[in-house]
Structure 1
Amino acid sequence: MPYEPLNLSTDKPVLSWANHELGSAETKMAKNVASLPFVFKHVSLMPDVHLGKGALVGSVIATKDAIIPAAVGVDIGCGMAAIKTPYTGDQLEGKLKQIRLDLEAVVPTGFNENKESDRQVSNWQGWQQFKTLHPGVKDLETKALRQMGSLGGGNHFLELCLDENNVVWLMLHSGSRHIGNILAQRHIDTAKTLAKMTDTKLPDPDLAHFVQGTEEFNQYWHDLQWAQDYARFNRVVMMTRFKRVVEKHLAGGKPMKPLLEVNCHHNYAEKEVHFGEDVFVTRKGAVRARSEDLGIIPGSMGAKSYIVRGKGNLESYCSCSHGAGRLMSRNLAKKTYTLDDLIEQTQGVECRKDEGVLDEIPGAYKSIEQVMANQADLVEVVATLKQVLCVKG
């Protein structure tokens, strides 16, 4: 399904790839963003679009000479990583539970962190820049070190999957952890303070922004790139540990060479050229999908996920969805579903089946198949994955 322009009477059009009508709060959020004077050409909404803070999750916002910290969000650089292995599903027979326990032992989840940092973590080049970050995080270096290689909570996960040819894939979802969150909050607060001081009229306080050329813009952009790099490397560290665990169980510890590797952000901002102009592109819950770009679009923990190749669709600013998108809030999911529902909906998946992950039940998410059908003009499917093991944050 191609996009549809929404009838919102805004200066800049809003193009939507969603097959559902936006609710009143979602419509207002889309209008607010599209009415900002520095928004470029149009706003694109991906098929998994839903309510966010300031801007809709699943929106792609190109801007000229300005950036909105709250539109990027607080999980800077959140994204996905996947590797295709030379192993087959038959080799997993009887080993899934032990693999899950071993994974939980080497990758901290939730609020947990590593007791100490390993060589891969301490050798990361980004630590040399830590002292140049916002003064409000100067006491967080040790925590950032210990959280590098940790999953976090919410919808972050590690999954062992099989594709249509019974080939084993390793996949994970995580971001920039506590350090990214605090950096984002510090800059969002600064942007809001500036808007008040300059009496800038905004349709929503969360759309406070920095103007290119100012000191505040430069500091945010610097910190944003650092946090995005931290998030990407955090996924690399976890994937290294994940790979070792799987090698131990399936190959007696012998290192394997991945057949394909993907590592992509879906909460970030980048300088790009679109329609012949230099712009800042904020993808809030969206993956870059230029021609030949590889991306990952996960479903919920009981649904399929997809490895995709971008088609370079210009109207979407070369983007696609970042997942199925939530159908209901976490609180509503807990009120709607029971533990029995969770057990039923995650049948055949080696994972936690307790109250702590009830808000992540597959029924709380949109249909990933419908989301994929809506973006056939944005991506092509390279592999369809189904998880057999899931470790939730």
Structure 2
Amino acid sequence: MSPTREGPTLLSWASQLEVSTLVQARQTAAMAFIHPHVALMPDAHSGKGSAVGTVIPTRGAVMPAAVGVDIGCGMIAARTTFTRADVDARIAETGSGLAALREAVEDAIPLSPGNYNRGTGDWRFTAARIRELEELADAGDVDLSHSPKWRRQLGSLGGGNHFIELCLDEADRVWLFLHSGSRGVGNKIAQHHIRVAQRMCAGVRLPNRDLAYLSEGTAEFDRYLTDLHWAQRFAYLNRAEMMDRFAAVFARWMGVSGNHETERINCHHNYTRQEMHGGEQVWLTRKGAVDAHAGVRAVIPGSMGTRSYVVEGLGNADGLCSAPHGAGRQFSRTEAKRRFTQDDLRARMVGIEYRDSAEFVDEIPDAYKDIDVVMEDARDLVRVVHELRQILNVKGT
């Protein structure tokens, strides 16, 4: 769809837009350092300070709460050489269904927000990632004293809307797919710098205190960008770590060895980096949005029980070369639990292997916007390359 102008510096691609979300977006777009405009994505919904699904270009300042507390949260997807027929043949051969695979994945990857790996030596590829993060922290003098167990967080999923899925595309090829971010250590980094920004803006009139900012040229700004870079890298490597574990578990379940991937896409949707927009180099914050520069591939998930999409960016300048990051919630977790039951969730998950539990009712697809409407709204931002449907779902508890 073509964007609608919702203010002097606000363009929106959202056909499903709540008043509270629009209010937040207008507040963000009214900040003096916005250039050239804020882009509101099709999946936008209310968030902390600024709406989730907001792309925010700023000159000389960054707002830590706009980046969010799950720094570097994003998606990773890996296409394999396997097909639905291979999976069905393995089930017939072994008599071991997808429940056994789900349980093996749950055993290999810690799921809950406070659950860590038992150790860091269980997988051959973990040590190199920890070493890279240690060296990056040392080089930037990143203070991680608030998270002494950060190494054991690497390769853990977390809770909420984080998930792991086995999917099939339009040609019945098997994809491995998951959603996670920088875990507890990233949250601690974000919360610290949000408080610093609020102290720095104590005498500034803000429409919302979570729009507090750090000004370029200050020590606080430099410290945040260094710590942010570390957390973004942690999130990226965290997804890669889990994907390697998922791939190993899946191969074992399939009774094969070796690497069976043909493609891997790992993309953030909560982050800040420098980009050129409106003829200037700005700090571009994608809060619930993916990079959609021309030719760049990304992954846009639906919800448990609905389709997801592998996409390629179209480089839309008005959209700040960005695209939506998912379906976006239409009901809060509390409201979803009030409206829906475990039986409702079971009905929506027919044909999908998942852990049948009442704790996931707030993640029912009905709590989210219609992903097909979101993708239609995004048709001038990305083109769909693959359409994925899940046959197995593992949720963060």
Task: Give the TM-score category using the shorter length.
Answer: over 0.9
Which residue matches 1:53?
48
- The alignment covers a number of residue pairs equal to 383
Matched, 1:19 2:15: yes
Deviation at 1:139, TM superposition (A): 4.4
State how far apart, in whole Å, the 1-side matches of 2:169 and 2:17 are.
33
Whole-Å separation in 1 of the counterparts to 2:101 and 2:60: 48
1:310 CA displacement: 0.4
Deviations 1:261-310 (A, max 9, x none): 10000000011111321100000000000011000000011000000000
Q: Deviations over 1:178-216 (max 9, x none)?
A: 0000000000001111111xx111111001100001000
> What RMSD in Å do the two structures reach over aligned CA positions?
1.2
Does the 8 Å contact 1:292/1:310 carry over to 2? yes
Partner amino acid, structure 2, of 1:390: N
- Alignment partner, residue 122 of structure 1: 127
> 1:271 aligns to what SS in structure 2?
strand
Aligned-partner Cα distance in 2 for 1:335–1:123: 45
2:106 matched residue in structure 1: 104
CA displacement 1:341-389 (0-9 Å, x = unmatched): 0100111110012111111011101100000001110101110000000
1:276 equivalent to 2:283? Answer no
Q: Which of these residues, 24, 30, 35, is aligned with residue 29 of structure 1?
A: 24
From 82, 85, 95, give the equivalent of 1:87: 82
- Whether the 8 Å CA contact 1:270–1:280 is kept in 2: the answer is yes
The answer to which of 356-365 and 124-133 deviates more is: 124-133
Q: Does 1:325 align with 2:328?
A: yes
Tell me what 1:248 maps to: 252
The residue that corresponds to 1:162 in the other structure is: 168
Contact 2:215–2:221 at 8 Å: present in 1 too?
yes
Quick one: distance in 2 between partners of 1:13 and 1:167?
Answer: 43
Amino acid at match of 2:155: G
Q: Provide the C-alpha distance between the structure 2 equivalents of 1:122 and 1:307, rounded to a whole number of angstroms.
A: 30
Structure 1 stretches of 4+ with a deviation exceeding 6 A read none
1:216 maps to amino acid: E
Kindly provide the amino acid, as one letter, of the partner of residue 222 in structure 1. T
The 1-side partners of 2:146 and 2:207 are apart by 35
Q: Quote how far apart the aligned CAs of 1:253 are.
A: 3.1
Secondary structure, counterpart of 2:145 in structure 1: helix
Q: Unaligned regions of 5+ residues in structure 2, if any?
A: 92-96
Equivalent residue, structure 1, for 2:94: none
Percent identity between the aligned chains? 45
Alignment partner, residue 180 of structure 2: 174
SS in 2 for 1:314: coil
Aligned to 1:381: 384
Greater mean deviation of Cα atoms: 350-359 or 282-291 = 350-359
CA 1:22–1:338 in 2, change beyond 3 Å: closer, same or farther? closer
Secondary structure of the 2:232 match is: helix
Q: Is the Cα contact below 8 Å between 1:16 and 1:45 reproduced in 2?
A: yes
Deviation string for 1:57-114 (max 9, x for gaps)? 0000000010000000000000000011010112223331111010000000012110
Q: CA deviation at 1:330?
A: 0.4
Aligned partners of 2:73 and 2:180 also within 8 Å: yes
In structure 2, what is the Cα distance between the partners aligned to 1:27 and 1:366?
16
TM-score of the two chains, using structure 2 as the length reference: 0.94
Query: 2:221 is matched with which residue?
Result: 217
Q: Within 2, Cα distance between the matches of 1:372 and 1:105?
A: 34
What is the TM-score of this pair, normalised by structure 1? Answer: 0.95
Give yes or no for the alignment of 1:356 onto 2:359.
yes
Measured in 2, the distance between the counterparts of 1:154 and 1:21 equals 22
Residue 4, structure 1, aligned to residue 9, structure 2: no
The answer for unaligned runs of 5 or more in structure 1 is none
- CA positional deviation for 1:248: 1.0
Q: Is the 8 A contact 1:86 1:256 kept in 2?
A: no
One-letter amino acid matched to 1:105? D
Moved more, 122-131 or 298-307: 122-131
CA shift digits 1:155-196 (9 cap, x unpaired): 000000001111000000000000000000000001111111
Asked if structure 1 preserves the Cα contact closer than 8 Å seen for 2:36 and 2:277, the reply is no
Q: Which residue of 2 aligns with 1:298?
A: 301
Kept in 2, the 8 Å contact 1:121–1:145? The answer is no
Q: How many angstroms does 1:134 deviate by? A: 5.3
The 3-state SS of whatever aligns with 1:140 is: coil
Contact 2:168–2:389 under 8 Å retained in 1: yes
